[in-house]
Every structure is written in structure tokens, then in C-alpha cells.
Structure 1
């Protein structure tokens, strides 16, 4: 994986793509925000602030209020990689978020996405 390419990418650049992906499948921006909040601990205002500040993924996850303790329960394939086998912690966090958005777009129930 080309980690440095992802790590330096602005989260604000990817966020609208997440929303576009789920809206095509009948889901909402609010649901994207909910899964991101579940994973990272950002609330609506702090998430908006991170987007406005154009922070990169490294900063986005470094400043996350609290990564969810159940995040390691996120398993499966995303972009050709098993998320549970990714060794780099930051890349794993990025792929966890990708996986949550992917599950949302595939119509999975929110309770299952949030590992409740």
C-alpha cells in the first residue's frame, strides 16, 4: 500500500465521496456522520471543523477524540485488503472508516455496522 499518499490526503477531499457513495444507495449524509462519529468520537461540530480546516488523514485520526473500543471488530475486505490484517495502525483506521461507509452503502443495518 502507498501509505504516504493516503496519510497526506485531506479528509475533506474524501468525505464528499463517502456521502455520494451512500446517497446513490438511498442512505444519508447523517448516517455517514454517525458511523464516523462512532469510529472516531467526533461530534457534528468537531467533524465540521476538521473538514473546514482541510486536515489530512494523519491529523484527522491523531486528533480523534476517542477511537471506538469496538473498532477491532470491523472485519472483512476493503480495497483488496483484509482490514483485520493491516499492520499499520493509521492505515487500518482509514480502512475501518472505508469499511463502515461501504457497509452503509450496501444497505447493512446501522446496529450491525456499529457493532452493537
Structure 2
């Protein structure tokens, strides 16, 4: 008899497909819907955050481009400044050379006059 009851029980279970076919299906369906909603909510949150990151990245790129433009301008100004300083140094060195030549010419003229006068005096004394 026990074997018969076990056989009927097993047969009954196989016909229903499980011990809690109807209640488990509803429960699983409810949980599946809840999980799907959780996943959708998490996805929407992630999507919003990704958009925020993308916006911040675009802002960063714009500021980086602006900084690069400013850096290029600074580089150009420094090159121009360096070139102008070289020109100024060259002009100043030429002016100094000209002045020193004039000074040397004036000094040599004064020395010549002095020597000429001294030579006249020496000749007069003799």
C-alpha cells in the first residue's frame, strides 16, 4: 500500500510539473517584474550619470582647447619678445662700438694735438 501511495504521489507530481506549480509561477512572475523594474531604474540612473560624465568631459575638452590656444599665444609672444631683445642687444652693442670708436678717434686726436704741441715745444727748446 505504501508503494502504491508513493507511486500515485509521484505520478500526481509529474502531471502538475512540480509541487507548487501555480503559486510558484505567480510568485516568480512577480519577483521577475520587480527585478526588471529594479534593473530598469538602475539602468536609467547609470544612463543619467554617463550623460553627466559626457557633459563634464566635453567641458573639459573645451577648456583644454582654450588653454592650448592661450599657450600658443604665450609661446608666440615669448618668441617675438626674444627676437626683439636680440635686436635691441645688437643695436646697443653697435651703438657702444660706435661710441667707443668715436671716443678712440677723439682721444687719438687729442693725443695727436698734445704730442704735436709737445714736439713744437721740444723743438723750440733745442
Superposition TM-score, scaled by structure 1 size: 0.17
Which structure: larger Rg?
2
Indicate the structure whose relative CO is greater, using CA pairs within 8 Å and at least 6 residues apart: 1
Superposition TM-score, scaled by structure 2 size: 0.16
Q: Whose helix fraction is larger, Structure 1's or Structure 2's? A: 2
